[in-house]
Amino acid sequence: MMEEVLRQVQEGKLSVSEAKEKLATYENLGFAKVDHHRKNRQGFPEVIYGEGKTKEQIFSIIKAIRSNNNDVLVTRISKEKADYILREHPEFIYHEIAQILFWKENTTSSKEPYEGYIAIVCAGTSDLRVAEEAAVTAEALGSEVRRFYDVGVAGIHRLFDNIEQIQQATVSVVVAGMEGALPSVVGGLVSHPVIAVPTSVGYGANFNGLSALLTMLNSCASGISVVNIDNGFGAAYNAVLIDNIAKKGAQKG
């Protein structure tokens, strides 16, 4: 891009100040800089991490994003903060378990021949919050999602009953706390990328998810990569990037 800008300046197509503006791609709210070009660079709007921000701060950032007609995705936002936003933006959608608030332009991508989906696989009921954060994020970012919950290794026949559907997914997000063994088992049974999410569910020598994190990093099954503890959003974001690669191929066909 830099070369292009330089050329346009040289050819007089771009003034110096215009050239500089090309790099000034964000809006300065004082307490935050909103990045309007990210959609171009990365294909998605700036995601707002709601934890540790006041509802008023979240509101201002949303306003800046919406004024550019960009989509909005707020993660880790409590019901109380979400209600505050929803009063002004009743068209937004809030998922309480996932703690996600979002708004998506109705980009009716009609005639999409792609039938791929992301499998969200989850070991136990206590991992639900993280699994839902992943599932709702992926949906908000435009992917099809199928949920396979409560299929942990302690009762492995429950996993086996669903394995064929999981195998047909484009990519899997596998969420597990405690010993975190599920991604290893899934990874040995599928031939697509597996994104593993350790959760902080457990007690004792679980050390807030460290146990599951180490298990997943040390998995002897190939094709597994790992995101941070409880980071359902990050896993989904990765999965959607991969799903989009498949989608692009399908749409070309």
Q: 33-52: which residues touch a second copy (CB under 8 A)?
A: 33, 35, 38, 41-44, 47, 49, 51-52
Q: How far is the CB of 40 from a second copy (least distance, A)?
A: 9
Of residues 111-140, those binding a second copy (CB under 8 A): 123-126, 128
CB 147 within 8 A of CB 118: no
Terminal CA-to-CA distance of the chain, rounded, Å? 30
Among 31, 96, 100, 174, binds a second copy (CB under 8 A): 31
Size of the site for a second copy (CB under 8 A): 110
Q: How far is the CB of 78 from a second copy (least distance, A)?
A: 15
SS3 5: helix
SS3 71: coil
Q: Give, in order, the Cα–Cα distances in Å from 245 to each of 91, 103, 242.
A: 30, 23, 5
Q: Give, in order, the Cα–Cα distances in Å from 188 to each of 116, 162, 166, 182.
A: 21, 15, 12, 10
Q: How far is the CB of 103 from a second copy (least distance, A)?
A: 18
Q: How far is the CB of 59 from a second copy (least distance, A)?
A: 14
Among 26, 59, 84, 92, binds a second copy (CB under 8 A): 26
Q: How far is the CB of 225 from a second copy (least distance, A)?
A: 4
**Residue 229 near a second copy by CB under 8 A:** yes
Q: Which of 244, 197, 193, 242 is nearest to 222 (CA)?
A: 193
- Choose between 45 and 85: whose C-beta lies nearer to a second copy: 45
**Residue 168 near a second copy by CB under 8 A:** no
**Residue 10 near a second copy by CB under 8 A:** yes
- Choose between 101 and 234: whose C-beta lies nearer to a second copy: 234
Q: How far is the CB of 232 from a second copy (least distance, A)?
A: 11
Of residues 61-120, those binding a second copy (CB under 8 A): none
Residue 26: phi, psi to the nearest 5?
-130, 165
Q: Which of 217, 224, 228 is nearest to 195 (CA)?
A: 224
CB 125 within 8 A of CB 147: no
In our burial notation (b when 16+ CB lie closer than 10 A, e otherwise), range 136-155 reads: bbbbbbbbbbbebbbbbbee
Of residues 186-225, those binding a second copy (CB under 8 A): 187-193, 195, 198, 200-207, 209-225
